[in-house]
Amino acid sequence: MGQNITLRCTSCKNAISLSVGQGLNDNRLDRVLTYFTDNNREIIKNELNKHGGNVNWSFSRMIASCRINHNLRSLPTFHISDETDRIIVAQCDCGGEHDIFDPEGLELGTVKINCPKCGQQMRYIRNGFWD
């Protein structure tokens, strides 16, 4: 089950609403692959084929901060549970790399995110759940 959250700046009151986590259909590989570019789909398939398709994987929408424009958004992530423990992140519109934040860490206060507008700390607010 996913969460609808708001990240609100403690200083300038900038607010960003995001949907994170996973829905009911996000345990199906064919469905999950549709969230990624052709290039990322190929990488995911190659990683799975290395293990003959017999490797644990998980999918989640996580909070991402663009390293180019610092915008915060929810991006699909594909986690392959093997010796590499690799996470493949979907690209945003700008094509930049992202720093990924676990929503649970934000909720617990062990992870901090700064406001893309003023640089001050943002507060995590859970608004509800979605499937």
Give the pLDDT confidence of 14-38 residue by residue, as tens digits.
Answer: 999 999 999 888 989 999 999 998 9
Query: Which residues of the chain fall below pLDDT 70?
Result: none
Confidence (pLDDT) at 127: 85
Q: How many domains are there within the chain?
A: 1
Give the integer Cα–Cα distance in Å for 54 and 8. 41
Are 90 and 37 in contact by the 8 Å Cβ rule? The answer is yes
**Could you tell me the pTM of the whole model?**
0.83
Confidence (pLDDT) at 88: 85
Strand partners, 48: none
For residue 13, give its domain range.
2-130
